[in-house]
Amino acid sequence: MSISLKIVRQLACSLLLGVLAQAAFAQLHIDIKGVGSKQIPIAIANFTGDATPPTDIPQVVRDDLLNSGLFRIVDADVAPIGESAAIDNGAWRSRGAVALVTGSITRLVDGRYDVRFRLYDVANQSAIGALSLTGSASNPRQTAHNLADYVFEKLTGVRGVFSTRIAYVIHRSRDKYELQISDADGKNPHSAFTSPEPIISPAWSPDGTKLAYVSFYEQRKPVVFVHTIVSGNRVPVANFKGSNSAPAWSPDGQTLAVVLTKDGNSQIYLMNSDGSNAHRLTQSGGIDTEPVFAPDGQSIYFTSDRGGGPQIYRMPVNGGEATRVTFSGDYNVSPRISPDGKTLAYVARRTNRFQIAVLDLATSQELVLTDTAKDESPSFAPNGMLLLYATEVGGRGVLAASSVDGVLKLRFPLDDSGDVREPAWGPFLK
Kindly report, residue by residue over 199-258, the tens digit of the pLDDT: 999 999 999 999 999 999 998 999 999 999 999 999 999 999 999 999 999 999 999 999
Which of 26 and 221 is assigned the larger pLDDT? Answer: 221
pLDDT of residue 146: 96
Going by pLDDT thresholds of 50, 70 and 90, the confidence category of residue 11 is very low
Q: What is the CATH number of domain 165-425?
A: 2.120.10.30
What pLDDT, in 10s, does the model give residues 358-385? 999 999 999 999 999 999 999 999 999 8
- Say if residue 187's pLDDT is above 80: no
Mean pLDDT for the stretch of residues 308-327: 97
Location of each CATH 3.40.50.10070 domain in the chain = 3-156
- Say if residue 299's pLDDT is above 90: yes
Please give the torsion angle defined by the CA atoms of residues 102, 98, 401 and 21, in that order, rounded to the nearest 10 degrees. Answer: 10
Going by pLDDT thresholds of 50, 70 and 90, the confidence category of residue 21 is very low
Location of each CATH 2.120.10.30 domain in the chain = 165-425
Average pLDDT, the chain: 89
201 DSSP β-pair partners: none
Going by pLDDT thresholds of 50, 70 and 90, the confidence category of residue 289 is very high
How far is Cα 12 from Cα 271, in angstroms, rounded to an integer? Answer: 42
226 DSSP β-pair partners: 212, 235
- Say if residue 410's pLDDT is above 90: no
Burial class (CB in 10 A: 0-12, 13-18, 19+), 403: buried
pLDDT of residue 76: 87
This prediction's pTM: 0.90
Mean pLDDT for the stretch of residues 16-24: 34
Contact 238, 223 (CB under 8 A): yes
Nearest Cα residue to 310 out of 348, 262, 280: 348
Q: What is the CATH number of domain 3-156?
A: 3.40.50.10070
Contact 229, 167 (CB under 8 A): no
Distances (CA, A) of 100 to 92, 123, 124, 215, 429: 8, 10, 12, 48, 26
Q: What is the DSSP string of 186-233?
A: S-S-EEEEEESS-EEEEEE-TTSSEEEEEESSSSSS-EEEEEETTT--
